[in-house]
Structure 1
Amino acid sequence: MPKKDRSSAKGFVEEMRAVAMKLHTRDQAKDGEKEPDSPPVAKWEPSLQGYLRFLVDSKLVYDTLETIVRKASHPWYAEFRNTGLERSEKLAKDLEWFKEQGHVIPEPSSSGISYACYLEELSEKDPQAFICHFYNVYFAHTAGGRIIGKKVAEKILSKKELEFYKWDGDLSQLLQNVRDKLNQVASSWSREEKNHCLEETEKSFKFSGEILRLIVS
């Protein structure tokens, strides 16, 4: 199919994006990477407690991803150190702010813990599948994640913009740099390994979707 060939010409990231887009519900399927499996954001009724749970679980997931990349049990994980997309420190600042406002910061929920454990396990034994999660977690947050953050801030935070939704430098350039690195890493994979990575997309949506739904819990 010519469509496949075009994706390959643009590099593997385009294939990952295409698979992710297919999994989006119809009302989200506009251009760009979106947060997985969520109701139309406009209809959300977020609770502060639920949102804190979402932020805590998100921090656990980013902590895990960033630790895996730092340790680099597979040499090419090291390519993804200091990309500028890291969220862990930003989330630490946000949770500190909530604490200063007198809110109790919850412990991570089973959704966050099971995703973190799964990522650790994958990173050791299945690097292609791990890269699928790495891509989907970071890229979805820069697109759909920001829209959700804005809506939640309007509804329950008097429009305060959290650090979680701020990047140092030009975000589109940071994303492009990571796309280039992903394409470079995947260029050494066999077609079978690439397909294996793509097949993991659904699982990454399932885990992320569970954490996302904490916002309205």
Structure 2
Amino acid sequence: MRLHTRDQAREGEKEVKQPEEKAVTKWNPSVEGYLKFLVGSKLVYDTLEKIVHEAPHPFYAEFRNTGLERSASLVEDLDWFKEQGYTIPEPSSPGLTYAQYLKELSVKDPQAFICHFYNIYFAHSAGGRMIGKKVAEKLLNNKALEFYKWTVTFPQLLQNVRDKLNKVAEPWTREEKDHCLEETEKSFKLSGEILRLILS
């Protein structure tokens, strides 16, 4: 929590330096920026889901079909924007960079990869939903995108994945666990660069 600002979490210690670190209520997003964010997010989720499906490390298979997957819902949302007459952009540097980094980590550094897996899905489930709601209020006449909807009880989905993460990490050494945690700041940085696209 210390990597958040005070606006983002009570325990936050990070100083506000970037526009996306301000409280969401103070953001001035654009539809074009939001589309860049959704496209970048889709690339990252596509990459995560493909890695888990192919399982370069066998324990990744534990995280298939968790119910947290977002790629299909993002396809629906981008199709909706197309129907409204918007042009869907190509993925930009933040999404491309993060997707490539995840591919590399997934093979050579499974503990670091799991940190990103956890942070991407769990951040979207908490702050991500709040951001989606605020952006929908400002830009989409309160339309709730599929990206922010789940078909089953959401807290149970999170608990199921948390249990799997704990099971997978149980045999790790203390050094491997610490290494996983140390990757959190990098995860926040790369995710933050995609989030910043909303304000572009």
| TM-score, normalized by the shorter chain, greater than 0.5 | yes
Runs of 4+ in 1 over 6 A off after TM superposition: none
In structure 2, the residue matched to 1:131 is 114
Deviation at 1:38, TM superposition (A): 2.4
Matched, 1:93 2:73: no
CA contact (8 A) 1:111 1:207 kept: yes
- Structure 1: which amino acid aligns with 2:166? N
In structure 2, the residue matched to 1:163 is 146
Q: How far, CA to CA, are the matches of 1:27 and 1:106 in structure 2?
A: 31
Q: How far, CA to CA, are the matches of 1:117 and 1:65 in structure 2?
A: 11
Deviations 1:93-150 (A, max 9, x none): 0000000111000000000000000000000000000000000000000100000000
Q: How far, CA to CA, are the matches of 2:199 and 2:61 in structure 1?
A: 36
Please point out which of 60, 77, 101 is paired with 1:118.
101
- Structure 2: which amino acid aligns with 1:59? K
SS of the residue 1:26 aligns to = coil
In structure 2, the residue matched to 1:176 is 159
In structure 2, the residue matched to 1:29 is 9
TM-score by length of structure 1 reads 0.87
Q: How far, CA to CA, are the matches of 2:10 and 2:160 in structure 1?
A: 23
Question: Which structure 1 segments of 5+ residues have no match?
Answer: 1-20, 32-36
RMSD: 0.9
In structure 1, the residue matched to 2:91 is 108
Deviation at 1:30, TM superposition (A): 4.3
Q: How far, CA to CA, are the matches of 2:10 and 2:173 in structure 1?
A: 30
Deviation at 1:27, TM superposition (A): 1.8
Which structure has the higher relative contact order (CA within 8 Å, separation 6+)?
Answer: 1
Matched, 1:54 2:37: yes
> What percentage of residue pairs aligned between the two structures are identical?
74
- Structure 2: which amino acid aligns with 1:49? E
Deviation at 1:205, TM superposition (A): 0.3
TM-score by length of structure 2 reads 0.94
In structure 2, the residue matched to 1:146 is 129
